[in-house]
Every structure is written in structure tokens, then in C-alpha cells.
Structure 1
Amino acid sequence: MLAIILTNSFGSNIVNEASFNFSSNAIATTLEGKWSRKDLNIPNKEVFAENNSNLPPTLIIGALALGAGQLYSIHYKNYNPKDNLTIVHRAHTFKFGADISFEQKNENAANETQGRFTFNGTQTRTGASGGIGFADFLLGRASAYSEAERDVTEHLRFGRTEFYGQDTWKIRPNFQLDYGLRYSLYRQPTDTNNVLSAFLPELYNPANAPPFANAIGSAISSTVGNPLNGIVIAGKNSPFGRRVQKPDKNDFGPRIGFAWDPHNDGKTVLRGGYGIYYDQALIGIVEQNSFTNPPINNSASFTGTASSPIPYTNPAAGTPPSTLSVKALITTSNPFFTPMIQQWNLTVQRQLTKDGVLEVGYLGSAGNHLIRPVDINAPTPQEVLAVARGVVGCDPALVASNNPATCINLARPYKGFGTITDRQTTATSRYHALISSFRLRETHGLSGQISYTWSKNLTDATNDRDAIDLPQLRTNFHLERAVSRLDRTHVFGASYVYEVPTSGTGFLGNRAVRHLLGGFEIVGITSIASGLALNRVVEGTTAVGPRGSRPNILSDPTQNVPANPTGGIPYAFNPLAFRPAPVGQIGSSPRSPFRFPKVFNTDLTVARNLNFSERYRLQLRAEFFNVFNHTQFNDVNQTIPDRLPTDIAFTSINELIKVSPFGQFFSTRRAREIQLGVKFNF
């Protein structure tokens, strides 16, 4: 790290500060021991040309995992010149400045070019279940194998350019106005080797889609059609040149605020403000496209069956060379707007006593162009059912256990691809809060603060990459609008410090009392808050449609919460309030149908300070975490059981508990902890 600052004064009212900062960091992994196939005399053959001689990571279900992981490294550098100019003129203080950064990030994806095997017991299974993974391993018959063609390394170059101007105007001795404007330009990343890619729907041509190579749509032809249909490469066919995104050049952020002392006595202050703020999107969102997408990264994956296992010595044996597995893509939408948030507030602060200050106010914010994941290649459940009719292995009318979702690729709008996770800037959020606090400066050994917030946080997505936030329908985000999983309606907090004086009047004037109680110190933090919202109740693995499809909701799940008939872990909500959605339909359950229990926690420290002299001091400490030992459940099983057993399971809680822990808590926050300590200062 390097920092250079140059400050110049031009007269008594102009100051300029120029600076240059440089920072860098690096992380790298190394492989210890001998893990090459040659060293261990293991002759398994790779799908792609030999480019990694290490032993493939191997997962043996029920036994162990072995093999050599892929090495990883990241190197980051940031060059940051800045300049700030301050001019004081009468009642005005003007500030102007620029902040520019030139950033580099070199990182590899750690793609497993040596391959990865899974042995799950399929090959030694005698019936519908059973089997031993280690026995499959000894036979050399794997249930799954995947391999990347290359370990993609990107050399990204990106940065930002920002300018601002502002004025602090002292209109009157008791009234101050602040206003300004900031402009931000976030430069979209380039790669020194043009290793960037994206999928652009507007460039996809259905006529060029590779035909499916089997009836269920899990493979496509490698000889007919264009397997890169709609995919652009930076510096080659990207409409944005060496980038795969168009930069947003409209990021203007005005700000205004005021402070008013209506009585001009320093005891009452009214403050308010409004501003627009922008945030540079995570560079990894663009970076990860090429870590996954062809042709930058091609990969192969195979799934074995009892009759057709994957041989350990040659996992691609028996696979027709004219077919490819359907690839999943990751992309970033265009236009890609800079995430922005508007914030506003109005507060009043009043000194009530010599040492006590009360503050109450309102805060609000509105987020727009926030990042969310959307599977733009997800068909509706009805579309999946339509293509599954008559297809062996998909149509339940042919075999009751068939799952129409097996044929989901046949119903996708962009044929030839699987899921296409698009990081879009289409999410929104809204936050409103009434706040209050009282601060007490130290008086007679006591100081502290209490605060209370009443708020609501609404959003239609709470994460930029988490698959659990994929919308049920790619065309209807309104169905996702609900309280955020970060929302807490009520939040109360108190922090306090009390030091027993070592001198005083009254009972502390007694020397024996001072020796007995003097030097004690009590420090505590108490938090009481509403529970967080459960993000969603999800359906099991047989659900038709996009991942995370929600069930139907029949009643308020917080009412008639049953007791556990086995006397075990309690229920968080009434699981009988939910039903799996009918096949081919989306569920009616909102995204946040339930809240976790409230938080009630107090942490306390009791210390005794013994001063033998100015040089020698001893402190005895006892620290209590969750001092009242409140049991506070933390997580709940939110996956509704699969459709097959639900006709019986949902007749009563006694039947449901036989097949699923759905609705039950499964973890708690920590119980009471006590720490004792001694500190000697000399």
C-alpha cells in the first residue's frame, strides 16, 4: 500500500488537497504432496486433451472424498488519484473534486480440468434403493463425471471516474443549507485477452438452434446448428467492442440537506435531507459468465445408470461424439443500469436535560435498478406439461412416477440451452422507518443509549446471485414483492455503562462501603427485535417449473401451530397451512409467509477494578452472553415434501411427521455463555 498526499494553500480561503493511493493484495493456493495420476499409477483418461495430470476429485457417498482440488489465485491492484478543492467565500464553503480509479483483477475460475467423479451406490444397488458407494468405487463404476476443458483465467481492467461539487451555505446563524451534485461513471470491465462473454437474447436466432439428440432434450447435436447461438465474445462479435455490457452514463446524484436551530439556543435542531446514490456493481457478475459459458469454457458431464455406468478408466466411453450435453449459461442483461438508491430523512433533536438528548425522526429510501437473478430460459409449468405429453420418461400418463420436469429443456424459449441465469438490474426495494433514541452522557458514573425503530422493508428480490431468489415466473416480478428477509418490524436496543464511584456522598461517603463497592463496572447491551421474515417455503425435488417453486397457502400459518406429536423439536408454523401446488401450476404462497421468533438477548460484563498504585492495576472480569439464557430458534425446515406422499401426509400432523420435518425448527442461537478473566496492567 502506498499513499501520497500534497496539500497547498492559496491565500487564506483556498485549500487544495491532491493525493495518490496504490493498494494491492493477492491470494494463492498450492498443492501439498503427490497427487498426480502418474505418481499414483492411476490411468484414467480425460475427455479433453491432457491439461491437468492431477488425480480427479472423487466423492464416495457414505465413505470419503479424495483427490486434488484445482489451484486458485487472485491478484488485485488499484491506482487511485484524487483531488479536492475547498474555497471559502463569505457564508459559503464550496468544494469541488475528482476521484478516479484504475483497477486490475487477475483471477482463475478453478475449473476442474482433471475431472470429478461421484460414486453413490447405484452400481451395487439390488432394488430401488440401497447400494454402497465404496463398493462402486472398488468396481470402478461411477454414477457421475464432469470435466472442464480449461481453467479460465481472466485479466480484468475496470475502474470509475467521479466528479462532484457542493456548497455549504450558512444562510443565517441558525440555518445551514448543503447542496451539491455528483457524477459517477463506472467503466465496464475489459479483459486483456478478451476472455469475456455474454448471452444476448436479441442476437439469438431460433432457426440456428441445434436440434435435440434425444427424446427428453438432455443432449443436442454437435454437427447441426449453432451451439453458440446468441453468445457474444468481447473483441470479436460483441456489439460493445471489448466489453459485453454497455456502460450507464446517466449516473447523476443530486444531494440537498439542511440544519435549523429554530430557537437559536443550541438545544433544538431540525435536520432533513435527500440524495441519490449509485453503487458500482460487483465485477464478479461479469467475470463469472466466462468461467461457465462456452466457448471460453467448454465442459462435459455424464450421468450413469445401473445398466450404463461411467467407467473410471475412460468416463467418455460409449458417448456419441456427435452429441453435446445441454449447457447452462450465466449472463448479464443489457441494458445494465447502475444500481441506485434514493434516501430522504427528517429528524428533530432536543436536549432534555444537561446530559440527555432525545432524537426522533423518519427515514426513507427507494432502491431501483438493483441486481437480481432471473432464469430467462425458464418455461412456465403449463409449458412443461404440454411438451411432456407422450414422451417416454416424462409423461406421468405413461408411467405414474415420470416427472414432466425431465423434459423441461423441450419447453425452454431458447432451445439448445438449459438454465440461463441473467443478472438483471430490475429489482426494487422500499424502506420506511420511524426512529427514536435517547443518549445520556456520563453522569454520576452512568452513561448509555436506548433506541427504538419501527420500520418496513419491501422488495421483490433480496440477493444478486442466490438461486433461492429466482422468480416463479420470469415475466411477472410482482409475484415476488414481499417484506425483505432482512426486515424487522420492531427493533429496540439499549447499551449502558455504570461505574460505581470511588468517592462521593451519602452511602458512598462511608469508607467501608467505598472499599466494598468502589471500582465495580457494569457494561451491558440488550437487544429486542421482531423476527426476520422466512424468505420462502419451497417445494421438493419433484416440483415442475423453475427452482424454488412455492406451494399453495390455505390459511394463516401462524395460527393453530401444532405441538410435535413425538415431543421433539417444536414447529415454527402450521405446516398443514400449505399444500403442494397442483402439477402444472405455480403456488399461491407469498415469498415471505412467516416470521422467525423474536430476538431477546442481553450480554453483560461485570468487572472489578483494583488500583494498587498508578503503575499497578488489576481487573477481574465476568462476561455473560445471553445472560438470561433465552431459547431463540434460528432456522426452520422450509421444504415441503414431494408430491408423492402428500395425499396421506397432509391429512394430519401425525402423518406428516412420518415423512418430513417440514415446518420444524432445526437450530438455535447460542445458549448462555460465561467467560471469566483477569487482566493485570503494569
Structure 2
Amino acid sequence: MYYLFDNYTLSNPYPNANVPGYDAAGTGRTQVLNLGLTKNFGSSTVNEARVQGTRYNNGFNQPKGGTGHTLDSLGFTTSGNGIIPLAPAIEGVPELDFNQMNMILGVPSRPNRLIENNLEVLDNFSKIIGTHTVKFGGDFHYNQLVEQLDNVLNGNFVFNGTETGIDFADFLIGAPTNYVQGQAEPSNGRSRYFGLYAQDSWRARSNLTMNYGVRWDVSTPWWEQHNQIETIVPGLQSIVFPGSPRGWVFPGDPGIPSTLAPTRYNKFGPRLGVAYSPSVGEGFLRKLVGEPGQLSIRAGYGVFFTALEGSTNFNEIGDSPFGFFYVGTNPSFTSPFLNRSDGSQVGQKFPVQFPPLNVGPNNPDNNVAWGNLTPIGSSPGFYYKNRLPYSENYELSIQRQLRSTDLVTVSYVGTQAHRLLVTQESNPGNPALCLSLSQPSDVLKDTPTCGPNGENNTYFAANGQVIQGTRLPIFGPLFQSNGWFITSGQSGYNSLQLNYRHTSGRLQVLAGYTYSKSLDNASGYGEQVNPFNPKASIALSAFDATHNFVVSYNYVPPLDKIGGGNRLTRGWALSGITRFATGLPVTLIETDDNSLLGTQFTGPIPLGIDLPNYAGGSVHISDPRKSGVYFDNSGFSSEPIGQLGNARRRSFHGPGINNWDLALLKDTKLTESMNLQFRAEFFDVFNHAQFNAVDGNVNSPTFGKIKTALQPRIGQISMRLNF
């Protein structure tokens, strides 16, 4: 039996803003309970049973700095078409996002509380039968995730430079690109997992062992205790909320289970492994293979299914009618529910009146004021046809013992992952339609023309036709940009891995080198893929590193042989870790919506799929230590209006890593049971600059530059008494 609890408090100076003055507090408790019973039945049979539970109760980003100022005292209108403060207790400077400057200021707009309960029950049974070791068992998980997300209760302005070309200049003239505000019910997420497996390790010969087995995985998508989640199914009319816009549906609607996507029961993952230690006679092969047992060859292949992220529920909560997340385009700064371009009234959207908890197909709710909750925008939904993600893992390794002190391993390791969860726009703009309305001659006199960030506007064509936005006609004007969390992601990783271990009396060395490449169309469910062709987004993974060499070492100098080995000369050691590695890839983005697709607010990361154009050829890399410039940006330009740029999302790497950490240690034995240790430790001992990410935003004035670095050399001296 094992039990742990841990309480913590956190004062975070930069919870969301990256300038001083807007700090926040956090508190939490962690509890872990583990009960286990291992029972032997004779000498060849063992059963292991375990029950374990965890509970996390955490509060994040509770605002402190920047509060105490009412919005009206700061010049904002707080009635009519202004900002209705939904959380007066944390009222203060609203969040202001400057996308070109990469600067955020204001009171944290997303304080939240997260309570997570997990229960796991598992049992493993193994039995030795002759040359076979048979093992089978099962595993059951039940997970609860309660989230109270105070999502942008008091408003958030985004500046992209759409008015003047410079985001801060837009701020000075009061011209934000977007206004965001939200209000949400708590989410009570639930999921279950059940798995069974059976395997056999067969010692076919003294130098050959085979392992084979299969695992059956049943993992439910997450559901909400009160069915307060939703998804998007084009053309389907809800019967749970009959007044809902066509396509906006809920658990209980035709074909929509509580999990939104069906639970699938046909996921079987086979596994196969082989370990072989060849033995040969005399001659050249004997020298190559060595003595019996000095060379081993291992190979393996397996299919592994994984659960779907519960954080998708985190991004789904608060959507209509269980809350509302509003994104306005071209708002007035002081009264954001007025359109700055033409003075038209959007209409106040807050506060939201939530429906009761017992709504269903047999108890529909016709009382929702959908007119106040539409158009629906920035409300991602879990795709209703999602399937369980899985990977195919394979490995071939050769291990050779050279001497009793040296071991070398050469491995080829790879993974192909399928049906990964990513974000994909369900309702992209139509660039051709927008371009047909982009000139004054294309529209009626004194009416707006279409351009970037104009996908949701109403246009009056020169022939008198009224066009309510340029997005897909199947959704109509009641929908704006909404993402699907969809299993259309894929990735591939292949690597050559070399390892060397040396252990002798005074010297220990462990070295590893990896040459690898990783490709995907999204490095996490928050990244977007091309909505028309997800494979078109394939590029280097965000974590790709072509070369990675790491060596750790520990050396005991022979000082103990001086002067008979007294206390002064005994116990010295020098240890360290050295790493040389390729930097992470530079992520290229464009934030101006020149593509006319309108994908910036599709998912949890406010970046669209727009990419710059590249003239071609190799990207010229320079040493950033003098000017901060890392790559020549002259070959890059903004994408043409109505087209996606031709640059890859990630195609070249940022600055690499050259780091040495060293430590000098001295152990002095004071008594039989007491030891005093002296430690002098240096991190980045040669003070080589370790840079942070390169600015890959083509719209940023620092595009191609590095603005920050990690901490310089750090040294510390300490004494520790062990007894």
C-alpha cells in the first residue's frame, strides 16, 4: 500500500501576459493511492493485482496584478454594445494581444479550476510451462475531468496590424482586428478504457527467444456527464435543441452518441519480438560475432492504440447553448459589439442564459434564444466519425560486447502513426468568391469589398445579389470559423541510433548518437491541417532533430594514491554531461489571412494555416550572436491574395545545442554512518549561447531573428551531509 498527498501554492509572474504587472496565483493538491497484491502459486505461477487512484485539484491563473480597475474607468463602454464584465471580482485591464510583437498584456483572461479523478484496476497472470512463459491480463480505467473555465469573461482584444500594417499602431488608433469574449458552464468529462492482452515468450533454443501476443483495446471518446457538448454535422437538424442552426448537433440527436463519435470494439494490436544470439565456429565470423553471448540481435514490431485526449473537451465547453465564445471582426475598441468599418450593430451577446441539465430527445428545449448565440464561431467540435489513433512501431538492434568493459548497440527504430488527432477547419472561406467581390466595381456603391478577415461580412454584389459571407454555403450565415478535432493526422519517424557504454574501475562513459527524421501534418491536436487536403500540411515535426549526440561521464582521479590516501585526497570525482544537437525546426506562419480562408480562430491555437511564399533554393543561415539574425528572410514574401503560400510549415532547423554541464565532487567519510559531500556544479560551463526559438512570422518586424536566449552559465557550490 502506498499513499501520497502534496499541497502547493504558486505565484506566477507571467501566467498569460509576457510583460510585468499581471501576475496570478495558483493552488492545488495531489493525492495518490496504490494497493497491490502479488501471489505466488508454486514456483511457476504468479498473479499480480493492483488498484490505484489519483486525484488532482488545481486552480490556475487566479488574477492578482492588473485588477482593481473597472472597465468603465479605463474608458470602455460597459452597457449596450460595450463590454459587460461577467466577472467583476477580477475586473481590470482587458487582455491585449499583439501578434506581430509577440506581446500580451492585461489581466489573465482564462482563470480556471481543474479536478481530475482517475481509477485503475489491473491484473496480470503469468505461468511458466516448459520453455514457454505465458502471460495474460486486463486493465480498466475510469477517468473524470471537471473543468471550470472562466474563459475571457471580461473580454480580449487582438491586434494584427490589419489597419496600418503595425499591430501597436493599430492599438494607438483604437483599431483591433478581433474582439473575443466567452462564458461557459462547467464541464464534467468522463471516459473509460478497457484492455485485454495475452502473450507468450518461447525460448525456442538456448540462443533464440520469441515473444508474440495480441492486445484488445476499447477506449471511449470523452463524454460529458450532462451531455453538454456538441459537434458539427453538415445538414443535420437537432431534435434536442430544435431551434439550433442546422448542422449544430448534440448527444441524443440522430446518429450522435453521448461520446459524439462511436466507441469501436475492433481494435486488436498484434506484437512480435525476436531475440537471437548467434554462435559460430572459428575464423573471421568468430572474430566478428565474438564468444557465445557477446552478440545479440533483436527485432520487434507492434501495433499500439492510444486514447483520445481529454483536453478536446476542454476546448469544446462553453459553446452554444452551454455558453458562448464570441469572436468579432473589426470591432470598435470602446464598444466591441459595434463594427468599426461601417458602424453597424452586432448586438450584445452577454450574459448567456444556460439551458437546464435534463435536456434530451424526449425532453427537447425550445426556449434557447439562438438569435443571441449566433453566428457560431471559434467553437471547435469533436468530429463525429473519429476513430482511435494508433501507431506501428518497429525496431532492429544489434548489440556487441567488445570487452568486459565495453558494450556497443546499433539500432534502427521507427514509428508510423495514423489517425492522430488534429484541428481542421469545417467551414473555410471561398477565396474565389471573395476575389469576385474584392474591387469597388464588383459591389454596390459605398458598400464594403471583400478581403482578408472578411469571410463573415455581408456583401452587396453589383448585380444586387446579397452575399452573406464567403464561407461554405452548406452552413450558411449562422456559422463562422469552427474547427473539427479530427483524426486525420499522420506522422512518420525513422532513426539510426548508436550507443556506447564503458565501465571500468575509475571511468564510466555512456554515449548516444541519433540520426533521425520526423514528419507529420500536425505536431499536436492544436495544430491545423489543410481543410481540403490534410496531407498537403506534411512537414518536419516541431520536435524533429536530425543529429543528437549526448555523452555522460564520471571519472575518479587517482589522487587517493598520493600521500597514502588520506581524507584530503580520497573521494574526488569529476562528472558531466555534454550535448551537441541540431536545433528544433523553425515554424513559418503568416497572420494576415491573405489566403481568404479565415482559419485564424479555428482551434485552440490562434494561428491559421496561412504560409509565406518562398522563392526557392537553400535558406541562408547566419550566426545570430552578433546581430540576432538567424536566416536571410529576403527570399520570403507574403502569400498572394487568395492563395496559400508555397513554403513548408517547417523545412529547416533553428540554432543547435552545444552544452557542457560539469561537476566536481568530494566525498569525505566522517564516521562509519556519516558522509560529507562537497559539490561544485557548472551548467553551460563554457557559456555557449543557447538560443530560444526563431521568429517565423513573415508579418513580424523581427521575422528571421532570435530575440531571446536561455540562461547563461550558472555555477553553484554546495555541501551535503548524508547520515
Shorter-chain TM-score range: 0.7 to 0.9
Candidates 273, 294, 304, aligned match of 2:300: 273
Distance 1:226 1:17, change over 3 A: same
8 A Cα contact 2:237 2:244, kept in partner: no
Q: CA deviation at 1:549?
A: 1.2
Candidates 485, 495, 498, aligned match of 1:436: 498
Q: Does 1:405 align with 2:453?
A: yes
8 A Cα contact 2:540 2:651, kept in partner: no
Once superposed, what is the RMSD of the aligned Cα atoms?
Answer: 4.2
% same residue:
23
2 CA distance for matches of 1:393 and 1:129?
Answer: 32
Q: Which moved more, 1:266-275 or 1:539-548?
A: 539-548
8 A Cα contact 2:237 2:249, kept in partner: no
8 A Cα contact 2:594 2:643, kept in partner: no
8 A Cα contact 2:630 2:704, kept in partner: yes
Q: Which amino acid aligns with 1:193?
A: H
Q: How many residues are matched?
A: 613
Q: CA deviation at 1:270?
A: 0.9
2 CA distance for matches of 1:512 and 1:164?
Answer: 60
1:229 alignment counterpart: 246
Q: CA deviation at 1:251?
A: 1.6
1 CA distance for matches of 2:106 and 2:590?
Answer: 33
Q: Map residues 73-222 of structure 1 onto 2, 5 A cutoff.
A: 73-112=113-152, 115-116=154-155, 147-148=181-182, 150-201=183-234, 203=236
Distance 1:496 1:14, change over 3 A: same
Three-state SS of the structure 1 residue aligned to 2:255 is coil
Q: CA deviation at 1:228?
A: 2.3
Q: CA deviation at 1:522?
A: 0.6
Candidates 253, 257, 260, aligned match of 1:244: 260
1 CA distance for matches of 2:158 and 2:278?
Answer: 75
2 CA distance for matches of 1:64 and 1:418?
Answer: 25
CA offsets 1:314-343 (integer angstroms, 9 cap, x no match)? xx9965587755523201223211111111
8 A Cα contact 1:112 1:151, kept in partner: no
2:551 alignment counterpart: 494
1:337 alignment counterpart: 387
Q: CA deviation at 1:358?
A: 0.9
Q: Which moved more, 1:386-395 or 1:258-267?
A: 386-395
8 A Cα contact 2:429 2:455, kept in partner: no
Q: Does 1:619 align with 2:658?
A: no
2 CA distance for matches of 1:398 and 1:191?
Answer: 45
2 CA distance for matches of 1:91 and 1:226?
Answer: 67
Q: Map residues 309-458 of structure 1 onto 2, 5 A cutoff.
A: 309=335, 324-325=374-375, 327-390=377-440, 403-407=451-455, 410-413=469-472, 414-416=475-477, 417-441=479-503, 443-458=504-519
Q: Which amino acid aligns with 1:234?
A: P
2 CA distance for matches of 1:307 and 1:146?
Answer: 12
2 CA distance for matches of 1:50 and 1:674?
Answer: 48
1:595 alignment counterpart: 653
1 CA distance for matches of 2:652 and 2:532?
Answer: 25
Q: Which moved more, 1:68-77 or 1:529-538?
A: 68-77
Distance 1:633 1:11, change over 3 A: closer
8 A Cα contact 2:40 2:47, kept in partner: yes
Q: Does 1:522 align with 2:580?
A: no
2:13 alignment counterpart: none
Q: Which amino acid aligns with 2:321?
A: P
2 CA distance for matches of 1:65 and 1:348?
Answer: 54
Distance 1:351 1:65, change over 3 A: closer
Q: Which amino acid aligns with 1:233?
A: F
Q: Which amino acid aligns with 1:294?
A: S
8 A Cα contact 2:389 2:419, kept in partner: yes
1:531 alignment counterpart: 583
Distance 1:60 1:496, change over 3 A: closer
8 A Cα contact 2:95 2:108, kept in partner: no
Q: Which amino acid aligns with 2:581?
A: A
Three-state SS of the structure 2 residue aligned to 1:465 is coil
1 CA distance for matches of 2:328 and 2:661?
Answer: 53
2 CA distance for matches of 1:551 and 1:132?
Answer: 25
Distance 1:432 1:404, change over 3 A: closer
Distance 1:167 1:569, change over 3 A: same
Three-state SS of the structure 2 residue aligned to 1:188 is coil
2 CA distance for matches of 1:462 and 1:90?
Answer: 47
1:16 alignment counterpart: 47
Higher Cα Rg: structure 1 or 2? Answer: 1
8 A Cα contact 1:143 1:310, kept in partner: no
2 CA distance for matches of 1:37 and 1:540?
Answer: 32
Provide TM-score, normalisation by structure 1.
0.79
2 CA distance for matches of 1:105 and 1:338?
Answer: 20
Q: Which moved more, 1:65-74 or 1:177-186?
A: 65-74
Q: CA deviation at 1:612?
A: 4.3
2 CA distance for matches of 1:306 and 1:56?
Answer: 20
Q: Does 1:2 align with 2:33?
A: yes
Q: CA deviation at 1:543?
A: 5.8
Q: Which amino acid aligns with 1:625?
A: F
2:324 alignment counterpart: 298
Distance 1:394 1:489, change over 3 A: farther
CA offsets 1:264-317 (integer angstroms, 9 cap, x no match)? 8221111111101111111121342232x21222355667867984699xxx99
2 CA distance for matches of 1:424 and 1:307?
Answer: 35
2 CA distance for matches of 1:662 and 1:481?
Answer: 22
Distance 1:57 1:198, change over 3 A: farther
1 CA distance for matches of 2:156 and 2:277?
Answer: 71
Q: CA deviation at 1:615?
A: 4.7
Distance 1:17 1:381, change over 3 A: same
1:219 alignment counterpart: none
Three-state SS of the structure 2 residue aligned to 1:436 is strand
1 CA distance for matches of 2:502 and 2:333?
Answer: 75
1 CA distance for matches of 2:646 and 2:170?
Answer: 39
Q: CA deviation at 1:604?
A: 0.6
Three-state SS of the structure 1 residue aligned to 2:508 is strand
Candidates 707, 714, 718, aligned match of 1:673: 714
2 CA distance for matches of 1:630 and 1:464?
Answer: 34
Q: CA deviation at 1:482?
A: 2.0
Q: Which amino acid aligns with 2:716?
A: Q
Q: What runs of 5+ residues in structure 2 fail to find an aligned partner?
A: 1-31, 280-290, 349-370, 458-468, 600-607
Q: Which amino acid aligns with 1:462?
A: S
Q: What runs of 5+ residues in structure 1 fail to find an aligned partner?
A: 206-224, 643-659
Q: CA deviation at 1:556?
A: 2.7
Distance 1:600 1:318, change over 3 A: closer
1 CA distance for matches of 2:394 and 2:168?
Answer: 60
Distance 1:618 1:102, change over 3 A: closer
8 A Cα contact 1:58 1:117, kept in partner: no
1 CA distance for matches of 2:505 and 2:564?
Answer: 20
Q: Does 1:477 align with 2:570?
A: no
